[in-house]
Structure formats: C-alpha cells, structure tokens
Amino acid sequence: MIFVRSRRPTLVLTVVTAGVTLACGAAAVVAAIRGWGPYAVLCTILALFGFGFVLRAAARLRRWPVSRLGFFRDRLVVVHRDTELRAGWESMATVTLAESNEWTAATWPEVRLTDRLTIHVRGERPFSLRPKSFGLDPVACRDLILQLRDDGVSRARLPEFDSALDLARRPVAAGELMKPRL
C-alpha cells in the first residue's frame, strides 16, 4: 500500500479552466468586433480570472512533491528522490508530532505540536516527514503508524517489501488529503 497525492484532479481542472479561458477570450474578441461593449468587458474579466487560475495551478503542479510513503508488513519506507529511508515496525521507539528539539528536555506543558512527524528508531538517527506532502492528515498518519507498530494483525494485511524496485512496480493508491483507516 503506497500513498501519494494524485496530480490528476489538479491537472484536469487546469486543462478545463484553460479551455474555458480560451473560449472566454475568443468570445471577448468576437464581442468587441461586433460592438457589444458590456459583453466584451464581461468575457475579458472572465478570461483574466481564468488565466490567473491557470497560472496558479501550473505553479502548484510544478512544486508537487516527489516523495512516496509506503506501508509494508515489516517496515515503513519513505522514498524522496533517490534517498530511501526504512524503519522496521519493531525498531520504532517513538512516533511524535512534537517539536523535536523540545522533545527531549521539555516538560509536558511546554511540548509544542507541529505538522512534522518525527520517527525515532532504536540505534539510528530519527527522521521526520510532513504527512501533508503525501496527502495524509498528520494526526491520522501518526495514529496509523502507531497502530501498525503495535498491532501485528493490522500489519499482516499489508504487502511484503521486497526491494526498491517493488516501489516502482506496485499500484499506487492515490487520493486527496485523507485520514487513513485500516
């Protein structure tokens, strides 16, 4: 099971908006040629708003994250470009949304929660990720990881991890921001 955010809805909306924007621009030109001033102004305003939306959506598509998050029977895998981080379920000590620099020395009232999930692995350096970049709610992602860490029955329903090549070949379960449930 690999979670990613799908570009498809944003891409489809951008293409449709670009088509409507071109149609409004053409209607503005035709209205201006025929002398229909108010219609030309209205179509020009619509075309300008559409053009602004297309530019904004194109910028969002350009900054889309290239990371992938995989939940497997024996480990959690985070792939960011050509870096792959693995954390076995049994080796996870803590999974927290608390700010990592305050986590070790803070008392309970001073702990600040963030949207960055930090996973402390026994015998290794902790690593962190932003669940929203994968389309997941941070609290729900933390809860899912803790449930998978503590419950072997839930983990048994996940696929086995073979290699990094499996990450490229497995089907992708894509969606918008969601709260994953097993």
CA-to-CA separations, 20 to 40, 62, 70, 92, 117, in angstroms, rounded: 15, 22, 38, 51, 40
Q: Are both 45 and 80 inside the same structural domain?
A: no
Q: What is the CATH number of the domain that holds 81?
A: 2.30.29
Q: Are both 16 and 91 inside the same structural domain?
A: no
pLDDT in tens, the chain (182 residues): 455 556 678 888 999 999 999 999 999 999 999 999 999 999 999 999 999 999 999 888 877 766 778 888 888 888 776 778 888 999 998 888 887 554 455 556 677 788 889 999 998 888 888 888 777 788 988 999 999 999 988 888 888 876 554 555 555 544 455 555 55
pTM exceeding the 0.75 threshold for the entire prediction: no
Total number of domains in the chain? 2
The residue assigned the tokens 């379920």 is 89
